[in-house]
Structure 1
Amino acid sequence: MWRPDGWDVRVRIGVLTPHADVGPESEFRAMAPPDVGVHAARVPFGAMRHGGAMDATIALAPVRAFAEPPYVDEAAAQLATAPLAALAYAFTSSAYVIGADGEEAMLARLTDRAHGLPVVATCASTVEALRLLGATRIALVDPPWFDTELNGLGRGYYEAAGFDVPFSAPCDLPSGQALIRPGELHDWVAARVPGEAEAVVVGGNGFRAVGMVENLERTLGRPVLTANQVLLWAVLRAADCRTAAITGYGRLFAVDTPSL
């Protein structure tokens, strides 16, 4: 019998990710069914060093620069030469800094550079998902390496989109991608989400979060949206490949999602 070799997939999607960040690819591959191929292009990110090391909090200048030409544009253009159906821009914080209008303009530019392939981004996709879920009041939790200014910009992003944000904070856990544990994140969030929040939004594509989504939804009785979860949902929809086959990672995947 021939062994699976990764060639026989139904759809292939591309991911634009910071150069030393393994989070988006790791979480995409954990969630995606076997017949979804995931292919990444790495984009220089000035706040990330060799091995994924970062300062305890990240400055705004490299966050803004990540969304600007030329590096992400070149990565999108090169990645789109592969036989892919859609691209996912796996970077939350730039949308906080440039706002929804800047994010929309960036996506239009990247789509053009990607030879017309659809390109989706985390925050715009989160807004769409929240509206489909019927949630108007959210709790926003960001990684510990987002300072209060960056988290405040995130709050402003969602408020400008029409959402009430009764809780917004960086997560008070050790600041380092490799230091985050799903159980600790679950407990931190569960202890702080106010009753009036109708959904939880967890920002940060480098934030280890999808492993606790199902348990947190069970604990809180409300939808939980994390950066890579919502981005995978959005890129598969953009690729005309619905997501009902994905289970165990939150109720979002059952929203408007005919079977793969």
Structure 2
Amino acid sequence: MPGTLYLIPNTLGYSEGQQEGLLARIIPDTVQSMSANLPYLIAENAKTTRAYLKLLAQNHPLGRALQEIQISELNVNTPEKDLEALLAPLVAGHDAGLISEAGVPAVADPGANLVRLAHQRGITVRPLVGPSSLLLSLMASGLNGQSFAFHGYLPTDAALRSKRIKELEERSKKEKQTQLLIETPYRNAAMLEALATSCNSNTLICVATDLSLPTESVQTKTATEWKARLKSGQAPDFHKKPTVFLFLAD
């Protein structure tokens, strides 16, 4: 009988000095306990996953020594042909966990194809409760939570990015749908400027940064208000910080 593939949530990030009590605030205790006892993990990065396990061990003793926990890597560069091998321990009857680098697995994160293959192989998939930056930002934005769409990254070319924003704004206006985007953290300023200048004046734009962290910031303003703030040097404190951008056309 195949094992179970647990989808393990991770924190949305932390810095030195923020570790104490961090998991208790973000990850349910039962999820921590289940994660600590898995013998095999599939992760984006083995090094950072070991760091997470050390953090986890502060609250729950690991089921086996850290060096005995098998960690296989799955990232955006993993060939499709390697997925079968990643599932081999589960097919053999062992439980495993798919863990994200930040937030929840398979959402704005590698892993969806592995989960699909697990279903095809008759492996039970169990999602565990944890933080999702997309849902947290939507909750806090004040924008439409009944209809929304996530588009990942937009083009880096300024002209193509502006064109894409206008296309999504038209869709937002027509369907009353909130649009969600992410950006490489060092390009956050360029993204907000593009949204503020490309969108219509009354379009609401939300900038959600460092969600669930002590430095969390969520601000929703019109495109006109953001343009004025940027012009006066009042940009959000979001340089090199994980940020979700949302907008809803009037």
Check whether TM > 0.5: no
Larger Rg: 2
TM-score, normalised to structure 2, is 0.35
